[in-house]
Amino acid sequence: LFAGLCQVGAWGCFDEFNRLEERILSAVSQQILTIQRGLSERQTHIELLGRSIKLDPNMGTFITMNPGYVGRSNLPDNLKSLFRSCAMVVPDRKLIAQVMLYSQGIVTAEHLAPRIVDLFLLCDSKMSKQRHYDFGLRALKTLLVGAGALKRKAIEGKGDLSAEATAEEEKKALIVGACNNVLPKLIAEDMAIFKDVLEEVFPGSEVSTMDDENLRSEITAICERKDCNPTEKFIQKLLQLKQVIEMRHGVMVVGPTGSGKSMALRILLEALEKVDHTKGDLYVIDPKSIDKENLYGSLDGTTLEWTDGVFTSLLRRIIDNQKGESERRHWVVFDGDVDPEWAENLNSVLDDNKILTLPSGERLRIPDNMRIILE
């Protein structure tokens, strides 16, 4: 990679650089030192890994890192000295929200953006501190992206609306989006707080509940067949789970042992199959029962031969689509404690890249009909 960057004169940005092990970081620092020495002495060629490499003077190397995280390494001093530090400022959430709302066709974005940002900030400050709560930019982006679709659905068939009517529909769509985004992850104690915060930011508004008559009736029928009690709270949780799974490709289901997490997933998958006639497959993996190499695969140091792990072989089978996998719904459930040792590798899978990068250099893209669920 460094040899390629040197020869074409490209800039390389290594994201989450300190996820590499310290021994590898130390070896990388020697290569970067050789490149930087060549650039400072204006050499046309440098010796890299025993080969003479052409050095373009425009070549540059950048790294990003989050220090202090579990599962991350500390940069060795000899590597730290090769880079100039640059601290980042907190982004302007209101401006970002405004631009994103405009891009979704929300006409009153300038008026709504500050209010939706305030809603998230108030939720963050007033609610209890739970490990699964996220009121950051990523959660805000999910809400903003869905706001446009909710507005278009609301005004469908209503013809040309006045400016006041359009503003009201957009406000309602944003409130529904906020409820869809925030409610599913709240514990019981924080429900009342969210209601107060919503009333404070959007006076006169009420917390909206999920409703889907077809899905509700199927869930009730399946619950009775499986001897489960289809209470209103349980059905609401399933409807919320369905909403979240539609919005995100990575979902975390949180709750104590015996609270019905696994049963909820199975009932919802079966109910969705009845409603839209798309067959669903549920794959359950216990990540703590196997080591990281057996989960993601391993590269033989001698022969450089790659062997797939449990997750990679499953992902490859879905991507290859040899038995009509593209026509089905695939939920991969990691059932067990979320440990940085194995969950760290899912970083690029769960973010917007949706790509699993293997040590062999291969990149596997997560298909749109697949969901990663951490239980």
- CA 44, CA 37: separation in Å to the nearest integer? 12
Strands (DSSP E) contained in the chain are 11-14, 45-48, 51-54, 60-63, 250-252, 280-285, 298-299, 306-307, 329-334, 355-357, 363-365, 370-374
Residue 219: CB atoms within 10 A of its CB come to: 26
Q: For the chain, give me the number of helices (H) and strands (E)? A: 15, 12
Instruction: Give the three-state DSSP class for 117.
Output: helix
pLDDT in tens, 321-364: 888 888 999 999 999 888 877 887 888 888 888 888 887 778 89
- CA 141, CA 139: separation in Å to the nearest integer? 5
Instruction: Give the three-state DSSP class for 182.
Output: helix
pLDDT in tens, 10-19: 898 888 777 7
CA 81, 86, 87, 91: dihedral to nearest 10 degrees?
A: -150
Selection from 238, 293, 290, 297 nearest residue 263 by Cα: 238
- CA 190, CA 170: separation in Å to the nearest integer? 26
pTM of the model as a whole = 0.74
pLDDT in tens, 210-240: 778 888 899 999 999 988 888 888 888 898 8
- CA 278, CA 259: separation in Å to the nearest integer? 27
- What is the pLDDT, as a whole number, of residue 339? 82
Kindly tell me the burial class for residue 169, based on how many C-beta atoms sit within 10 Å of its own C-beta (0-12, 13-18, 19 or more). Answer: buried
CB 319 within 8 A of CB 364: yes
CB 358 within 8 A of CB 290: no
- CA 84, CA 269: separation in Å to the nearest integer? 50
pLDDT in tens, 269-282: 999 999 998 999 99
User: Looking at 49-53, 126-130, 279-283, which range is the least confident one?
Assistant: 49-53
- CA 151, CA 92: separation in Å to the nearest integer? 25
CB 268 within 8 A of CB 291: no
- What is the pLDDT, as a whole number, of residue 134? 84
Helix (H) / strand (E) containing 201: helix 188-201
pLDDT > 90: what percent of the chain?
Answer: 20
CB 80 within 8 A of CB 70: no
CA 319, 321, 323, 328: dihedral to nearest 10 degrees?
A: 70
> Is the model's pLDDT at 68 over the cut of 70?
no
- CA 59, CA 63: separation in Å to the nearest integer? 14
Instruction: Give the three-state DSSP class for 290.
Output: coil
Selection from 167, 142, 145, 141 nearest residue 154 by Cα: 167
Residue 113: CB atoms within 10 A of its CB come to: 23
- What is the pLDDT, as a whole number, of residue 272? 92
What is the average per-residue pLDDT within 77-81? 77
Helix axis angle, 261-276 relative to 232-247, nearest 10°?
Answer: 70
pLDDT top residue among 369 and 66: 369
* Cα dihedral 275, 277, 176, 256 sign: positive
- Tracing tokens 């696994």 back to the chain, one arrives at 262
